[in-house]
Structures are given as structure tokens and as C-alpha cells.
């Protein structure tokens, strides 16, 4: 997939591991300009981890981009660790990282679950967030979870059938429970096939057109385990979000400028959630990309995200 509209590859100017509570150790890195405008990248999943390509969204002459792997994800340790892994803990981790790096305020840049976490953090610490750029909005509502687990069969019946049929017939009435039991099993012979089945399902549904390379990346054992195990854990606990949901707390951050980028044909996080968020966020602008699905690397999505970042130059 050509990515000429992103910035050139760049190496971090600093990296580190931050010890956290509950035995977790967080990987973090900074790329771009050491004295640039701070911006925090929040990866999806939960559990997907950040990749090298995510550095390329940020103009290295302007941004001081902070990228980290959330608990149990990517290069953080332990891989797939669930102890003390919930949304409030991730918000505390973000605050610990901000303090560790001596940053007073930072923009937030996140997609999918990264949009959920960005909204959760901003609602907890609005004084730390001057602006947000969010993509593929996920609000963690029951309807969104049901769509992922069941509703996608309306658009991707073949992918959903493979996802469903991985489980024995007797367990197919409770897909989340059946997968979670296997993903929590300590035996790799049990949890690795389940994690691959879950992750391939998500990867297959993430782009507008079939993208075998993207699906293959979702199928790699390390990436699949972190994504599937942590995602199922969060789904089983309704994303550890407040009972009233994120929209009910939008009054806390309604004044914060925002950009919402949404693929019209996003099947993982359908556009309804982006419209619902925009209706409660008067300071945000909604951009619908007419020829894109869910992935941040869809051509129209990545161009819209870079354009949104350019509109926020100057912090």
C-alpha cells in the first residue's frame, strides 16, 4: 500500500520502559522535534499496540510525538497481561508518562479504542488536553459490542462464519464467553489458535477492500495474543467505562477543539457513533471519508488525519 502522503520514516530521539503497578512495564518512545508541540498517540484494540508506521503521521519538524504501548500490548510487558488492566489504570499510566516526560499539556491522537481512551482521559483530565484528533469512533456501548460480535455477519458473513465456527457448536450462542475461556487458558496450544481466529476476523473487516498483508499482520502470534486476549477481557467488562457512558460526560470537554475522522464504510466502528459524538461535541469538526473503512492506513483516512494535524499546528 503506497503511503507517500505520510511523513518519512524517523527514529525515536528517546525511548524507555516505565514500571507501573500490578507488575506491568510500559514501553514508550518519542519521535520528531524534542522541543516541538507534544502530542500523544493512542493505539487501538485495546491490546493492538503501536507500530513503526504510526510515527509517520507526525511532521517531525513540528511535533514531539509520544507513542506508547498500553498495558499488555506491543512491547510492554507482560505480553497479554490482564492483572490490573482496565481503563482507569490506563488513564493513570498516561498521567505517569506525562509526568515522567515533563509535559504540561498534550494533544491526543487516537483511533478506534484509541478514541475511547482519549475521550476517557480527557474527561478525567480536561486541563491537560488542548485538542484531540480522533478516528474510527468507538464509544464502548452495548450496541457497538453486539455489532462486532454478531452484526458484522450482515456485511462479512464469510469472515463471521469463520470466527463463529472456530468454536464448537454448543458454544456459539456465547461467542465472547467461548473465546474468553480459550484466550485465558495458559496453554499456548489453546490460546494461540483462538487469538489468531479473533484477530483475523477483525483484520479482515477493517479495510474497505481486501488487504491480505493487513490480515497477515493481525495473524502474527504476538500481535494476535495481545489484541484478542485484552480486547475480549475489556469487552467482557463493557470496556470498564462508567455506567452512564462517555456521551453523558461530554459536558466536561465540549469546549476542547477536536477533529473527528470517520470512514463512511467503517464496519468495525460504524459511522453512527461518530455522528452521535459530533452531536455532543460542539467544538469538534466531523470529516466523513467517503471511500474508506476502519483502518488508519486506508488512503483517505490517513490523508484526512494528516490534514487534521496540519490544522492544529501551533498547538
**Is 160 labeled as catalytic in the residue annotation?**
no
Alpha-carbon gap, residue 103 to 169, rounded angstroms: 52
Place of cell 475521550: 119
**Is 5 labeled as catalytic in the residue annotation?**
no
DSSP label at residue 266: -
Active-site entry in 24, 54, 62, 112: 112
Phi and psi at residue 166, in whole multiples of 5°?
Answer: -60, -30
CB 84 within 8 A of CB 35: no
* Exposed/middle/buried for residue 171 (C-beta within 10 Å: 0-12, 13-18, 19+): middle
State the DSSP H helix or E strand holding residue 286, giving kind and residue range, or none if neither.
strand 284-289
* Exposed/middle/buried for residue 102 (C-beta within 10 Å: 0-12, 13-18, 19+): exposed
Active-site entry in 233, 266, 273, 295: 266
CA atoms within 13 A on the CB side of 307: 13
Torsion from C-alpha of 288, 203, 268, 166, nearest 10 degrees: 160
CA atoms within 13 A on the CB side of 117: 29
* Exposed/middle/buried for residue 111 (C-beta within 10 Å: 0-12, 13-18, 19+): buried
DSSP label at residue 8: P
Alpha-carbon gap, residue 10 to 30, rounded angstroms: 10
Alpha-carbon gap, residue 167 to 161, rounded angstroms: 10
Question: Which residue, among 36, 43, 33, 37, has the nearest Cα to 12 in the 3D structure?
Answer: 33
**Is 9 labeled as catalytic in the residue annotation?**
no
Q: Which residues are known to be catalytic?
A: 112, 266, 294
Amino acid at each position: 500500500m503506497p503511503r507517500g502522503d505520510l511523513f518519512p520514516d524517523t527514529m525515536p530521539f528517546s525511548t524507555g520502559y516505565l514500571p507501573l503497578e500490578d507488575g506491568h512495564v510500559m514501553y514508550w518512545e518519542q519521535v520528531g522535534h524534542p522541543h516541538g508541540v507534544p502530542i500523544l498517540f493512542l493505539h487501538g484494540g485495546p491490546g493492538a499496540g503501536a507500530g513503526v508506521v504510526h510515527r509517520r503521521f507526525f511532521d517531525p519538524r513540528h511535533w514531539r510525538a509520544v507513542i506508547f504501548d498500553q498495558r499488555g500490548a506491543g512491547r510492554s510487558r507482560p505480553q497479554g497481561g490482564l492483572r490490573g488492566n482496565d481503563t482507569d489504570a490506563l488513564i493513570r499510566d498516561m498521567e505517569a508518562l506525562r509526568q515522567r516526560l515533563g509535559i504540561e499539556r498534550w494533544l491526543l491522537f487516537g483511533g478506534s479504542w484509541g478514541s475511547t481512551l482519549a475521550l476517557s482521559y480527557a474527561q478525567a483530565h480536561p486541563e491537560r488536553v488542548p485538542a484531540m484528533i480522533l478516528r474510527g469512533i468507538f464509544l464502548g456501548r452495548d450496541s457497538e459490542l453486539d455489532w462486532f460480535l454478531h452484526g458484522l455477519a450482515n456485511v462479512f458473513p464469510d469472515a463471521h462464519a469463520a470466527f463463529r465456527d472456530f468454536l464448537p457448536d454448543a458454544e456459539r450462542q456465547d461467542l465472547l464467553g467461548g473465546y474468553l475461556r480459550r484466550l485465558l487458558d495458559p496453554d499456548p496450544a489453546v490460546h494461540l489458535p483462538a487469538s489468531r481466529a479473533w484477530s483475523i476476523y477483525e483484520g479482515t473487516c477493517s479495510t474497505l477492500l481486501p488487504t491480505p498483508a493487513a490480515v497477515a499482520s493481525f495473524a502474527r502470534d504476538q500481535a494476535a495474543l495481545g489484541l484478542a486476549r485484552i480486547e475480549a477481557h475489556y469487552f467482557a467488562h463493557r470496556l470498564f467505562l462508567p455506567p452512564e457512558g462517555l456521551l453523558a460526560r461530554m459536558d466536561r470537554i465540549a469546549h476542547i477543539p477536536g477533529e473527528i475522522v470517520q470512514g463512511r464504510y467503517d464496519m468495525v466502528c460504524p459511522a453512527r457513533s461518530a455522528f452521535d459524538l459530533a452531536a455532543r461535541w460542539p467544538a469538534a469538526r466531523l470529516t466523513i471519508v467517503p471511500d474508506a473503512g476502519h483502518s488508519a492506513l486506508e488512503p483517505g483516512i490517513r490523508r484526512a488525519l494528516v490534514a487534521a494535524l496540519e490544522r492544529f499546528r501551533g498547538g
